Amino acid sequence: MRRRPEPEILVPTRAPSRRSVLRAGALLGGLGAAGALVGCGDDGSSAGGSTTTAAGGGATTGALIASFPQSTPYIAAGSPARMPYLIADREGVPLRSIDGPVRFTVSRDGTPVGEPVEVTPRSDGVPRAYLPLAFTFAEPGIYDVSAEYGGSTLEGSVQVVDRSKITTPMVGDRLPAVASPTTANAMGVDPLCSRDPVCPYHSVSLDAAVASGRPTILVVSTPAFCQTAVCGPLLDHVMEAVGEPGGINVIHSEVYANPTAVDDLAKATVAPVPKAFDMAFEPALFVADASGVVVSRGDIIVDRGELAEMLAPIR
């Protein structure tokens, strides 16, 4: 099996402390023409640090795990953010099931920002339950995120940046009309689809889809070369939900252009779509309406139920 490179911070990773977020700030940056995208860490892995406080003030088991990028600009001020979190047991392994809903609080400098948010756990078709926290941060800065679970307060921090620092399409942006590999023009990507058997979503180029006047679903993933079960199901879930393309454009883009030509994915060339989107993570789902505007986006981990909600605006 080809060795998948170890990124500087694996995803998922324990929710970072305020100190680790500040340290990571100096490392923010996009991905070049080659190199590995940050994906999901192993189901049993954990990294970084978080603070867990028991109801009585002492240490207890468990930790809040951020299943989204921490070392690249990811959360933009003024844009709806989806932040999937997992909860780990005392060994640092993400729980397979989470009793919910779970109450989240966002604060800055000790002052709550907005109202607490109740988040329902998701687990349909994914190996670990997760909590997709939805929140819109008004301003850039470092924010504290805490979750109440099992009588404990699980804490972490996130860094919010100015929208101009993020080039990956976000909700409300128009999906870039860039060419994507197809069966007619693979654009040097081999394999065109690493799923076995291959999926049916390689007949339309993204630029043609955006100009078609029909909704578009774009999945950026590499089924054969993702080494965790977390990122594998996304394409399969889309196939279950959508089936054969009809009045909707469905496009699957691989992450790497030449994964079988190298002995280490760190040396692989990034495929055209993730390169054009300046993506530093995978997998990702982009759902655009008939005008090409992104109405939903799901990164890293999406279960069947949440996928149905993301597709609802274009169904």
CATH of the domain at 301: 3.40.30.10
Query: Residue 79's pLDDT is what?
Result: 95
pLDDT digits over 11-48, tens only?
Answer: 344 454 443 433 333 222 333 333 445 554 344 433 33
Confidence of residue 243 (pLDDT cuts 50, 70, 90): confident
Please check the confidence at residue 268 and state whether its pLDDT lies above 70: yes
- Which pLDDT belongs to residue 232? 55
Residue 56 lies in a domain: yes
Last residue of a domain, which of 137, 165, 193? 165
pLDDT for 21 equals 39
- pLDDT confidence band for 49 (50 / 70 / 90): very low
* Band of residue 244 on the pLDDT scale cut at 50, 70, 90: confident
73/150 same-domain check: yes
Tokens 């990294």 — which residue?
Answer: 47
Residues pairing with 281 in the sheet: 38
Closest CA to 8 of 23, 33, 18: 23
**Does residue 307 share a domain with residue 222?**
yes
Query: Are 82 and 144 in a shared domain?
Result: yes
Please report whether residue 5 resides in a domain.
no
Both 220 and 149 in a single domain? no
* Residues 6 or more apart in contact with residue 52 via CB below 8 angstroms: 59, 60, 61, 62, 63, 64, 152, 153, 154, 155
Residues 153 and 232 in one domain: no
What's the DSSP call for residue 223?
Answer: T
- The tens digit of pLDDT for each residue in 110-145 reads 999 999 999 999 999 998 999 999 999 999 999 999
- The overall average pLDDT reported for the chain is 84
The answer to whether residues 125 and 213 belong to one domain is: no
* Distance (Å, whole) CA 121 – CA 60: 21
Which of 138, 165, 192 terminates a domain? The answer is 165
30 and 114 assigned to the same domain: yes
Q: What is the pLDDT of residue 27?
A: 28
Of 165, 197, 228, the last residue of a domain is 165
Write down the pLDDT at residue 280.
87
Q: What is the pLDDT of residues 143-174, one digit of tens each?
A: 999 999 999 999 999 999 999 999 999 999 99
pLDDT of residue 56: 41
d(CA 285, CA 250): 11
For residue 239, being part of any structural domain is answered with yes
Radius of gyration from C-alpha coordinates of the chain: 19
Residue 296 domain boundaries = 206-314
The closest alpha carbon to 20, from 144, 112, 115, belongs to 144
Q: Based on the domain organization, do 86 and 135 belong to the same domain?
A: yes
Q: 91 burial class (0-12, 13-18, 19+ CB within 10 angstroms)?
A: exposed
Nearest Cα residue to 153 out of 57, 89, 70: 57
Q: Is residue 197 part of a domain?
A: no
What is 36-94 written as a DSSP string?
PPB-BPPTT---S--EEEETTSS--S-EEEE-S-SSS--EETTSEEEEEEEEE-TTSPB
- Looking at the structure, do residues 128 and 248 belong to the same domain, yes or no? no
Mean pLDDT, residues 98-113: 97
Q: Is 291 within 8 Å of 41 (Cβ atoms)?
A: no
Q: What is the pLDDT of residue 37?
A: 59
Per-residue pLDDT tens digits for 50-77: 544 444 444 345 899 999 998 889 999 9
Cα 128 from Cα 87, distance rounded (Å): 9
Question: Per the domain annotation, does 186 fall within a domain?
Answer: no
pLDDT at 224: 86
Helices (H), the chain: 18-24, 206-210, 233-242, 272-276, 304-311
CATH code assigned at 69: 2.60.40.10
Q: 88 in a domain, yes or no?
A: yes
User: In the prediction, which pLDDT does 95 show?
Assistant: 94
- What's the CA gap between 10 and 12, in Å, rounded? 6
The single residue listed with the structure tokens 């989107």 is 277
100 band by pLDDT with thresholds 50, 70 and 90 = confident
Q: What is the DSSP letter of 261?
A: G
Same domain, 287 and 214: yes
Q: Is residue 72 a part of any domain in this protein? A: yes
- Specify whether 20 is located in the same domain as 119: yes
Q: Which helix (H) or strand (E) holds 158?
A: strand 152-161
For residues 224 and 89, membership in a common domain is answered with no
Is residue 17 included in any domain, yes or no?
yes
The whole-angstrom separation of Cα 266 and Cα 35 is: 5
Q: How confident is the model at residue 297 (pLDDT cuts 50, 70, 90)?
A: very high
d(CA 31, CA 74): 13
Domain count for the chain, please give it: 2
d(CA 41, CA 66): 11
